[in-house]
Amino acid sequence: MAGLGFLWKNRAKFPVTSKQFYKAWAKRIMLLSSLSKRNRKRSGLVRKGAKIHERAEIGEVKVDGHKSNLTIGSQSFLGRVNIALHDEVIIGDKVCINDGVEIITASHDVSDPEWKHVKGKVIIEDYAWIGTGSMILPGVTIGRGAVVGARAVVSKSVAPGAIVVGVPAVPIAKKRVEELNYDPCEFLAANRAWLIG
């Protein structure tokens, strides 16, 4: 949702003589630098080959490896995230990845005397929520609407709607609701300033 063209077209409009007009524009001007920073980050990654939807929000992401291995869907939000692209990382729509998350697509085979490099793509499906400080290991798929708890280390795929916690991450009895209909990017102050005022 960070695209300025989209925000301008869909901005909340108020009469020029109203208090709301001046309040909204004050917020928009104050938050313009954070909005611009996320736009520049996304544009820079796209120029280097990443496939990132124009309505995705990219925070202070550190991406190592071939940027063409990265795909991020619409209305997904990534905070301060580290991504190692030895293989593909595919992030769906309306995914929220909190600060401190690490996504790793390669490691070494400890049972191999030559300690060979092994890699595997990571897929994070729509509406998944990856909690603060979690680590996603190579070859993992996080199912639609699944939740990874803060500081969890995910070494195995997570079923749709499941909630996993711990080291290593294991499912808990509670599941997420099946019907999901939200946009994690709407919660960002810069976007709210434009869309709500």
Catalytic residue among 53, 66, 86, 108: 108
Q: Is 117 a residue of the active site? A: no
Tokens linked to 18: 């109203």
Helices 19-30 & 32-47 angle (0-180, nearest 10): 50
Q: Which residues are catalytic?
A: 108
